[in-house]
């Protein structure tokens, strides 16, 4: 497919349509189905962008239990949306009796879905890596805190050490609870990653097949265009030849007329 042709088509919005296009006019159901799918895919892209903002907070001073909960919830909800849109996309790509413009719509939506899904999976992996790194750091801190310390001194110092130990124990309990929560969140995200891997492979396969189909369509269009251009050139050449032949015939007739006039005058004189 030529770069110029592809770029021109890509510049059109996902839900583009031309009312005078017979491919859409003949199948309004396809038009409506593709339009709704495009709208939902656009909303899904916005959800992924918001998830990216929340994921960026993990492993930083802005990370809080509430942030982690928002990330976990967003991952679960977004995964469900991907599954739903993915199933509808499969239906769209197997739509019967489609024309070139509809095949382009199928391919465009498939590519956009694949790109959004790829971005989402990258965010999932980032969230898992950051959660695991936080857990590793928390476990190391707990081990340091639980290491025995040398105790010596009088009764007053022993009391201070006991108070410090109790305070540290509260912090240890809190950190252990945080570790448990992170492990649960990691398992949840890893599960969603596994569920979407198969969907990603299916969509990648569809995009590959549709790309080949569009290349064939483009080649046919170019061949037809070249043939039409060649026919137009031949017709133009034939037209020019006919004009030239008519001009020559007129000149010959004029010459014959002049010769005839000269002969007649010569006879009369």
pLDDT along the chain (269 residues), means of 10: 48 46 66 96 96 94 91 93 94 92 93 94 93 84 63 54 58 76 82 79 78 54 53 64 71 76 73
Per-residue pLDDT, 223? 46
Task: Assess contact for 117 and 203: CB atoms under 8 A.
Answer: yes
Give backbone dihedrals phi and psi of 209, rounded to 5 degrees, phi first: -65, -45
With 0.85 as the threshold, say if the pTM is over it: no
Cβ count within 10 A of residue 249: 10
Tokens 């570790």 identify what position?
179
Tell me, rounded to whole angstroms, the distance of Cα 195 from its chain centroid.
19
pLDDT at 222: 56
- 207 Cβ partners below 8 Å, 6+ apart? 107, 110, 111, 114
45: nearest Cα among 124, 129, 128, 118: 118
Domains in the chain: ranges and CATH: 3-147+180-223 (1.20.58.70)
pLDDT of residue 23: 44
Q: Which two tokens stand for residue 83?
A: 């599954």
pLDDT at 17: 44
Q: So what's the pLDDT on residue 239?
A: 67
Nearest CA to 75 out of 225, 218, 252, 193 is that of: 193
d(CA 185, CA 75) in angstroms, rounded, equals: 10
């Amino acid at each position: 497919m030529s770069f110029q042709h592809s770029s021109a088509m890509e510049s059109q919005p996902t839900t583009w349509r031309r009312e005078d296009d017979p491919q859409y006019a003949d199948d309004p159901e396809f038009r409506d189905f593709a339009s709704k799918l495009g709208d939902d895919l656009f909303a899904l892209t916005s959800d992924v962008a918001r998830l990216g903002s929340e994921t960026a907070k993990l492993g930083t001073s802005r990370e809080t239990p509430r942030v982690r909960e928002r990330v976990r919830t967003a991952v679960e909800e977004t995964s469900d949306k991907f599954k739903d849109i993915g199933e509808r996309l499969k239906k769209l790509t197997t739509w019967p009796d489609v024309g070139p413009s509809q095949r382009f719509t199928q391919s465009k939506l498939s590519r956009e879905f694949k790109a959004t899904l790829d971005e989402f999976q990258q965010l999932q992996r980032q969230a898992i890596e950051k959660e695991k790194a936080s857990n590793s750091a928390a476990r190391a801190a707990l081990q340091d805190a639980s290491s025995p310390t040398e105790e010596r001194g009088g009764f007053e110092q022993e009391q201070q050490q006991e108070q410090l130990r109790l305070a540290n124990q509260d912090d240890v309990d809190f950190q252990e609870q945080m570790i448990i929560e992170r492990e649960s969140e990691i398992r949840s995200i890893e599960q969603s990653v596994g569920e979407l891997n198969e969907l990603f492979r299916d969509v990648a396969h569809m995009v590959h097949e549709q790309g080949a189909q569009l290349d064939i369509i483009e080649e046919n269009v170019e061949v037809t265009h070249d043939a039409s251009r060649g026919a137009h050139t031949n017709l133009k050449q034939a037209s020019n030849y006919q004009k030239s032949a008519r001009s020559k015939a007129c000149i010959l007739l004029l010459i014959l007329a002049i010769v005839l006039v000269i002969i007649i005058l010569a006879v009369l004189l």
